[in-house]
Structure 1
Amino acid sequence: MSESSPWDDIAVPGADFNVRQVPGETAVPCFWGRDTTGACLFIVELQGDHTDQFRKNAVTVHGIEVDLRGGESGRQRLVLTLEKQVDRDLFEGLCLTLASALERATDSASSLAVALAHIRRWKTFLSGRSQHLSAEEVRGLFAELTFLLELIERQASTTAVVEAWLGPEKSHQDFIFGNTAVEIKSLSGTERSTVRISSEDQLESLNDELFLRIYRLSNLPDATGARSLNEIVGAVQTQLAEAEAVEAFDRKLVAHGYAPLPDYDGPRFVVSDVHSYRVGDGFPRLMRSQLPTGIDRVAYDIRLEAIAPYECDNEEAFGGN
């Protein structure tokens, strides 16, 4: 996260709280705030009495107090209070994306509904307290989600597609569906032509078909079709048709170490190249079943030129022939 935040220039008040309005076009005004303890607040100001709606849809989130408070002149305030400063980066991410989501609301009632649904969605990320992903991890997750989107186009059930994504669960391969296993790798646009295989299990499978699929990602923020990690996560979420798939996808993102933080609004990638390789007899690899006794936890690089004879049509990685 950036060292600065929306709360830095808000003084701690002697009573009640100090606020600064969030810029943007929303049906209801939103504010950054601080209370007398110095806690970071996010406030949504509502017209009318929404107590019944709030109680019916109340959500409890670890580390954040969610409260509906009375205000003057027939107003109420939805107040989010951060309990621990260590979680400020996640809280800022929640508030920024909430402010964006509220642009789609039309009045106070719909604004409260959007806010509570958004907080409920973020509950998964907050409970996982995700770590900050490295540049390499961002690229790796982006590549896996690119394949997941491609798989959604070819499968009837989005729940089945999310179930097939096993990378976050530390499976030997990133995707397994039917009798096909696919290991996903990413390369930066300027990276040397080798891929890192992180274990002796990645290129050995009990499935009938095993593929290595490599995405070359170029950071071209102004290019047509360029996406950030946050944007490709959002693209997947809009394609998930079943509630079960949405919940499972969010859980797997948390397991991967992801939360929708503003940091992941960049870099913005385009897929500049895709190659798929059928892994089988003769493919240069190390396998657990063939390692000498006592050798374990193997990682190694494969030169792409050495596996060129095993390249196949990209469609074959989706279970085609």
Structure 2
Amino acid sequence: MPESSPWDDIAVPGADFNVRQVAVGTAVPCFWGRDAGGACLFIVELQGDHAAQYRKSAVTVNGIDVDLRAGDQGQQHLVLALERQVDRDLFEGLCRTLASSLEHATDSASSLAVSLAHIRRWKTFLSGRSQHLSIEEVRGLFAEIVFLTELIDRQMSSGAAVGAWLGPERSHQDFMFGNTAVEVKSLSGAERSSIRISSEDQLESLNDALFLRVYRLSSLADAAGARSLNEIVAAVQARLGEADAVEAFDRKLVAHGYAPLPDYDEPRFVVSDVCSYRVGDGFPRLMRSQLPTGIANVAYDIRLETIAPCECDEAAIFGED
């Protein structure tokens, strides 16, 4: 969890709430708050009566109480209250991204609709109890999402592209489509040129074609096109369009251990190099079908210079050659 949070400097009141306004340009005022029980709150102030709209679209989320409460002078408050302090980092992520989403709303009714839709989306992340990813896991997930965007760029439908992403489901390879399997790896800009193969199954496939795609990611925050993990996730969600594809994408992110936490606003990466390799005869690899009896749980490194003869054009992966 971050060292400080927006609730740290809000005193617990004797009754009702203490609040501090969120510093974003939204159509309706938003507030960080604490109630008399010490719970962390996020409050959206609405003008008018929105009870019917709320009842029609209300969403329940484990660990967060969502309520529409009467306010003063014809106002209503959408109140999000955190029930478990252990979830504070996830709750902060939800609230910050909600505040950003509300910048695009135009009035109280649209603000309530945006809020409830946002909470519904976050329900997937909150139910997944996502853990903090290591920097290596962040890079690995970033690289897999880059490849996913490349599938979409080549006119694969949103649903098919997300369906092809099998890495979060513990498949032997990260992507499978048609008779092609692709294992995606990432390297940091400063890393030596070798990749880690984590099992004896990773470079063995029943598909007709198996490829290794390696992305070198450089952490260059100010470079043109640099994106954080949160930014590339949000960009893909916006591109997918289809509700079913977005929902499937979010479920796979949760399976990967991801939630849109502020922690993943940094580092910001650029893809500084990409190499593709055809995995077949002559490619150095250990395979389950060829291991001596009794050997299991194999992990090993491959030096990229040794597989240079297997390098291929990316068109081969996407069936364009």
- TM-score computed with the length of structure 1 as normaliser: 0.99
The match for 2:252 is: 252
The match for 2:98 is: 98
Letter in 1 for 2:225: G
In structure 2, C-alpha distance between the alignment counterparts of 1:36 and 1:288, rounded to whole Å: 60
Partner-residue secondary structure (3-state), 1:272:
strand
In structure 2, C-alpha distance between the alignment counterparts of 1:77 and 1:246, rounded to whole Å: 29
Q: Is 1:183 aligned to 2:180, yes or no?
A: no
The match for 1:7 is: 7
In structure 1, C-alpha distance between the alignment counterparts of 2:65 and 2:5, rounded to whole Å: 20
The match for 1:308 is: 308
In structure 1, C-alpha distance between the alignment counterparts of 2:82 and 2:241, rounded to whole Å: 32
The match for 1:73 is: 73
The match for 1:138 is: 138
Partner-residue secondary structure (3-state), 1:312:
coil
In structure 2, C-alpha distance between the alignment counterparts of 1:173 and 1:119, rounded to whole Å: 33
Q: CA RMSD in A?
A: 0.6
Letter in 2 for 1:141: L
Using the TM superposition, give the Cα deviation of residue 3 of structure 1 relative to its aligned residue in structure 2, in angstroms.
1.4
In structure 1, C-alpha distance between the alignment counterparts of 2:266 and 2:315, rounded to whole Å: 29
Which runs of structure 2 are paired with 1:80-159 in the superposition (5 Å)?
80-159=80-159
In structure 1, C-alpha distance between the alignment counterparts of 2:19 and 2:201, rounded to whole Å: 54
Per-residue CA distance 1:220-272 (angstroms, 9 max, x = gap): 00000000000100111111032110110000000000000011001000000
Letter in 2 for 1:174: D
Give the share of equivalent positions with the same residue, in percent: 81
In structure 2, C-alpha distance between the alignment counterparts of 1:39 and 1:14, rounded to whole Å: 13
Per-residue CA distance 1:151-210 (angstroms, 9 max, x = gap): 001134110100000000000000000000000000000000100000000000000000
In structure 2, C-alpha distance between the alignment counterparts of 1:204 and 1:219, rounded to whole Å: 32
Letter in 1 for 2:28: V
- TM-score computed with the length of structure 2 as normaliser: 0.99
Letter in 2 for 1:315: A
In structure 1, C-alpha distance between the alignment counterparts of 2:116 and 2:94, rounded to whole Å: 12
Partner-residue secondary structure (3-state), 1:99:
helix
The match for 2:232 is: 232
In structure 2, C-alpha distance between the alignment counterparts of 1:264 and 1:315, rounded to whole Å: 32
The match for 2:280 is: 280
In structure 1, C-alpha distance between the alignment counterparts of 2:96 and 2:135, rounded to whole Å: 22
In structure 1, C-alpha distance between the alignment counterparts of 2:299 and 2:155, rounded to whole Å: 33
Per-residue CA distance 1:59-84 (angstroms, 9 max, x = gap): 00010000000011000000000000
Letter in 1 for 2:158: T
The match for 1:270 is: 270
In structure 2, C-alpha distance between the alignment counterparts of 1:156 and 1:229, rounded to whole Å: 22
Contact 1:155–1:161 under 8 Å retained in 2: no
In structure 2, C-alpha distance between the alignment counterparts of 1:198 and 1:286, rounded to whole Å: 11
State how many pairs are aligned: 321
Per-residue CA distance 1:85-135 (angstroms, 9 max, x = gap): 000000000000000000000000000000000000000000001000000
Which runs of structure 2 are paired with 1:198-217 in the superposition (5 Å)?
198-217=198-217
Using the TM superposition, give the Cα deviation of residue 314 of structure 1 relative to its aligned residue in structure 2, in angstroms.
1.6
Using the TM superposition, give the Cα deviation of residue 24 of structure 1 relative to its aligned residue in structure 2, in angstroms.
1.1
Greater CA drift, 150-159 or 288-297 = 150-159
Using the TM superposition, give the Cα deviation of residue 319 of structure 1 relative to its aligned residue in structure 2, in angstroms.
2.6
Partner-residue secondary structure (3-state), 2:227:
coil
In structure 2, C-alpha distance between the alignment counterparts of 1:36 and 1:100, rounded to whole Å: 27
Using the TM superposition, give the Cα deviation of residue 317 of structure 1 relative to its aligned residue in structure 2, in angstroms.
1.6
Which runs of structure 2 are paired with 1:53-72 in the superposition (5 Å)?
53-72=53-72
In structure 1, C-alpha distance between the alignment counterparts of 2:181 and 2:20, rounded to whole Å: 51
Partner-residue secondary structure (3-state), 2:31:
strand
Partner-residue secondary structure (3-state), 2:43:
strand
- Give the gaps of 5 or more residues in structure 1: none
In structure 1, C-alpha distance between the alignment counterparts of 2:52 and 2:241, rounded to whole Å: 30
Deviant stretches of 4+, over 2 Å: none
